[in-house]
Amino acid sequence: MKDMSTGTSTVEEMFASLDLSSPRSPDELRLLVETVDKRFRESNELRRESGLRHSRSQKKYFEEVRPLALLARHLFADGRDVVCEPNLEDAKNYDAIIRSSSCKKSMTPLYVEFTYAKDGYDESLRMDASPALVRGGQDLTLTLRMKLSYVMTY
């Protein structure tokens, strides 16, 4: 339900309390996803409200933060020295930065952009592609079977 005094909904309040833009390790991102999943499973009100109205934070979570957690888990299984920082600002042309450091050398940051096929036959074909790796200039583009594509620039 919407809180009339603040104008925010229960879904918005939940996502605000989780501070989605905080830098996290892959394990911390996994725990964040599990927390959100559990809250939605246990609350009819959250499920109902999220179906009626899509807040900005809800959209950012499902289209950027959750895919980042899946990507980080896939690419950085041990993830001890990896930090993922979601970017929730629309003005920037990336959805997250992934950084890693080790004793000897710090890894160049990876700028990640998540994209989804919305319309068109060509886009649907791109989304159905098997995992592919394409290098062009500074961009590294990967397409995963889970119908998620992302661009990492380094």
Q: Tens digit of pLDDT for each residue in 88-138?
A: 998 888 899 988 875 455 667 888 888 766 665 666 555 544 333 333 333
Confidence at residue 119, expressed as pLDDT on a 0 to 100 scale: 62
40 pLDDT exceeds 50? yes
Confidence at residue 9, expressed as pLDDT on a 0 to 100 scale: 79
5 pLDDT exceeds 50? no
Among 60, 79, 73, residue whose Cα is nearest residue 144: 73
Characterize 70-91 residue by residue with b for buried, 16 or more Cβ atoms within 10 angstroms of its Cβ, and e for exposed: bbbeebbeebeebbbebbeeee
For every residue of 48-94, DSSP letters joined together read HHHHH---HHHHHIIIIIHHHHHHHHHH-SS-TTEEEEE---TTSS-
**Average pLDDT value for residue range 6-12:** 72
Q: Determine the residue type at 70.
A: L
